[in-house]
């Protein structure tokens, strides 16, 4: 028999949450911290990388760039697992259709960004001119995949916010309505400093982690 937990719902009712579903959600929750953690370690140890000039995507370049490529691919796979877990958890309820689909698009964007690497520039890899670089074909695909992925994540947050509001969770609903604004503001600020882009990307990943971790917890709270 499939092992499961009894999850409290409104009105005192309970519903079974299979442990396999919780594992999928946990995988999605781990994706953000994993990607950011590997990126932080790589950024601190790679010669020529500067967080004030370079995006984490550029760590896919150079002799050890395969580490960041694998990081992109694993993160994408974990996010797709989280999307499946979210679909199983929400089911035919508010947000049960579009939130998992949008999260799936976000996960797919990481897979695409891992295959099509960013362009060198801003002094990285070591020896690259500090000035602006010409955008290549694979660099364009990388950039567009990230743009589409994060737009999908922002849309998923709005969908989840509507669900939270319908459940009377006004604080969480407000937070997930404001998060997309913060993410977009950070992306807009990347024209001034790449750290604004990094901060916005991290905000989105960690907010997603918080949502999925809550669903994957022992009580399975939604």
- Rounded-to-integer distance, Cα 71 and Cα 66, Å: 8
* pLDDT tens-place string over residues 100-153: 999 999 999 999 999 999 999 888 998 888 766 678 999 999 999 999 999 999
For the CA atoms of 24, 29, 33, 36, what is the dihedral angle to 10 degrees? 80
Tell me the average pLDDT of the chain. 88
pLDDT attached to residue 91: 85
DSSP at 117: P
Cα distances from 50 to residues 90, 93, 192, in angstroms, run 41, 45, 15
* pLDDT tens-place string over residues 53-96: 999 999 999 999 999 999 999 999 999 999 999 999 888 877 78
pLDDT attached to residue 136: 92
- Rounded-to-integer distance, Cα 82 and Cα 26, Å: 7
* pLDDT-based confidence at residue 16 (cuts at 50, 70, 90): low
Going by their DSSP bridges, the two strands 14-18 and 4-8 should be labelled as: antiparallel
SS3 track for 134-153 = CCCHHHHHHHHHHHHHHHHH
């Amino acid at each position: 028999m499939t092992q499961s937990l009894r999850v409290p719902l409104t009105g005192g009712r309970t519903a079974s949450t299979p442990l396999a579903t919780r594992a999928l959600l946990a995988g999605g929750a781990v994706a953000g911290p994993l990607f950011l953690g590997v990126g932080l370690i790589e950024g601190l140890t790679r010669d020529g990388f500067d967080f004030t000039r370079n995006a984490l995507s550029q760590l896919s370049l150079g002799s050890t760039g395969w580490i960041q490529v694998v990081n992109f691919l694993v993160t994408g796979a974990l996010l797709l697992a989280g999307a499946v877990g979210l679909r199983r958890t929400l089911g035919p309820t508010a947000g049960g259709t579009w939130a998992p689909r949008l999260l799936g698009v976000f996960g797919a964007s990481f897979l695409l960004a891992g295959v099509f690497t960013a362009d060198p520039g801003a002094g990285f890899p070591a020896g690259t001119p500090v000035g602006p670089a010409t955008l290549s074909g694979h660099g364009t695909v990388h950039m567009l995949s990230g743009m589409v992925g994060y737009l999908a994540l922002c849309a998923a947050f709005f969908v989840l916010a509507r669900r939270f509001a319908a459940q009377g969770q006004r604080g969480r609903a407000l937070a997930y309505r404001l998060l997309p604004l913060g993410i977009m503001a950070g992306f807009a600020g990347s024209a001034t400093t790449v750290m604004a882009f990094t901060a916005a990307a991290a905000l989105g990943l960690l907010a997603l982690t918080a949502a999925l971790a809550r669903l994957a917890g022992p009580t399975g709270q939604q």
